[in-house]
Amino acid sequence: MITIWKFTFDVDDTVDITIPAGAEVLPHVHAESPTSLSVWARVDTEQANATRTLCVAGTGLPLHTAGDYVGTAVVAPFVWHVYDEGEQRDAGVQDEQCAHCGRCGRVRTPQDHAYTPVQVITGGAIGWYSGSDGEFCGSCMTDLIRRQP
């Protein structure tokens, strides 16, 4: 059956959602709260589930995606822009292709969450930072924010 489903997720640089394979993410984003967004997708409920990656960027923050633009949600004081990276491939990533923390050398894993300023504002755990100035794991990012050596 073809139908429309709603997917709600917490704001993060990258978000993985479980969605029927081949689904079409529709061009609309809704802010449920300053730290929670929703998107809708046209899905075929008879398809097996796949993992879909969405990228979220706040206005003025680095944008690390080549994905398709889905939409923008405004919820004061934030403006979030969502991009669809598509379904994840099954092929594993080789270690030399993985990001390494520029401070402690730790290798980023698929389980590492990405950094977003909302984590600092809400007191949440700090995620992995990726920017033009390098890569930092959550622990090193926390130390840098707290100005610890």
Q: Can you give the residue ranges of every domain in the chain? A: 1-88, 95-149
What pLDDT sits at residue 94?
A: 40
pLDDT reported for residue 44: 92
Give the H/E segment covering residue 6: strand 2-10
pTM of the predicted structure, to 2 decimals: 0.60
Predicted pLDDT at 6: 96
What's residue 148's pLDDT?
64
Tens place of pLDDT for every residue, the chain, 149 residues?
999 999 999 998 889 999 998 999 999 999 999 999 999 999 999 888 889 999 999 998 888 777 899 999 999 889 999 999 888 744 443 444 456 777 887 777 666 777 777 777 777 777 777 766 677 888 888 887 777 66
**43 neighbors 50 (Cβ within 8 angstroms):** no
Q: Two tokens at 122?
A: 């809400």
pLDDT of res. 90: 41
Determine the Cα–Cα distance for residues 21 and 119; give it in Å rounded to an integer.
Answer: 31
User: What was the pLDDT predicted at 93?
Assistant: 38
Q: Evaluate whether 108 touches 93 at the Cβ level (below 8 Å).
A: no
